[in-house]
Amino acid sequence: MLVNSIYAMKNYPVVLVNIILSPISFLVVINFVSKGGLLDQAIEGAFIMSMFSNGMGLQSDLSHLKNNFKLQDMVVSSPTTPAVYVLGMAISEIVYSIPALITLVVLMGVFVHPSALQALDLLGVMALMFSTSVTIGFTLSTFSSDVVQSFAFSALISTLFSTLPPVYYPITYIPLPFRYLAYLSPTTYAAEIAQSTTSLLKISTAMFALDWLVLIAITLVLAWVAVKKARWREV
């Protein structure tokens, strides 16, 4: 956490601008285009994008530390387990994004007004979204041999999963023949849960439960893939 977040935040505070700007910029655009009609959905979408991008940021950070500083080699030769190493790095991503998360929490409280129960549901969705992206980021980082490649993949996947699916707007805005394609992204299920929880989207109880089950299943499957397929040790 010291190396990957606190030192960077202290020595290069300009990087915090990018952390805040990415989710907020889409929020502002959606708000202008919808003339304020989708502000609440956009705030929740910005939260989802922020959590997903934070997890995907783990890929480039792990690749940088592995390839440039050989940190993973040292961790492998130590008693530290992959789970502990990844957990520490994941927490560092959260610490690194605290300014953005505080901004979004304030916007959520001012405009969305979630109740305590709704806030708990939203917290669960964001935790699953972060866990999903962390497993993707960790797995890809173990296969990456170049930090530039990792930055490219991280940005590409974050953009594909956070902007094209109906994250900043309701899925009902997508024409029905193409709507089913949106369900290929885990962020779609997270957005439906978040929007339904705060009464911004009307879906059936069965669909709400299915969204939770699918999102949990995706997270567990990706975690299994990370455990079984990630290249923790060089062969």
- pLDDT for the residue numbered 234: 53
The answer, as to whether pTM is greater than 0.75, is yes
Q: Ranked by mean pLDDT, which of 60-64, 70-74, 186-190, 220-224 comes out on top?
A: 186-190
- Taking each helix axis from N to C end, the angle separating 186-197 and 205-229, rounded to the nearest 10 degrees, works out to 140
- pLDDT for the residue numbered 206: 95
Greater model confidence, 148 or 158? 158
User: Is residue 235 pLDDT above 50, yes or no?
Assistant: no
- pLDDT for the residue numbered 214: 96
Please say whether the beta carbons of 56 and 137 come within 8 A.
yes
Q: Cβ neighbours of residue 183 under 8 Å, at least 6 residues apart?
A: 189
- pLDDT for the residue numbered 227: 80
Greater model confidence, 131 or 229? 131
What percentage of the chain carries pLDDT values higher than 70?
Answer: 93
CA separation, residue 44 to residues 65, 79, 102, 160, 188 (Å):
32, 40, 13, 17, 12
Please state the rounded mean pLDDT for residues 88-109. Answer: 88
Which range (57-61, 108-112, 114-118) has the least confidence? 57-61
Please state the rounded mean pLDDT for residues 115-140. Answer: 92
7-36 pLDDT tens trace: 777 777 776 777 777 788 888 888 888 888
Please say whether the beta carbons of 146 and 68 come within 8 A.
no
- pLDDT for the residue numbered 94: 87
Residue 215: band (very low, low, confident or very high) from pLDDT cuts 50, 70, 90: very high
- Euclidean distance between CA atoms 129 and 126, whole angstroms: 5
- pLDDT for the residue numbered 122: 95
- pLDDT for the residue numbered 125: 95
- Euclidean distance between CA atoms 4 and 111, whole angstroms: 33
- Euclidean distance between CA atoms 4 and 143, whole angstroms: 20
Could you give the count of Cα atoms lying within 13 Å of 60 in the half-sphere of its Cβ? 16
Tokens of 203: 């879906």
Please state the rounded mean pLDDT for residues 95-118. Answer: 91
- pLDDT for the residue numbered 233: 60
Please say whether the beta carbons of 161 and 55 come within 8 A.
no
- pLDDT for the residue numbered 87: 86
Q: Cβ neighbours of residue 71 under 8 Å, at least 6 residues apart?
A: 65
- pLDDT for the residue numbered 144: 72
151-178 pLDDT tens trace: 777 778 888 888 889 999 999 999 988 8
Characterize 126-147 residue by residue with b for buried, 16 or more Cβ atoms within 10 angstroms of its Cβ, and e for exposed: bebbbbbbbbbbbbbbbebeeb
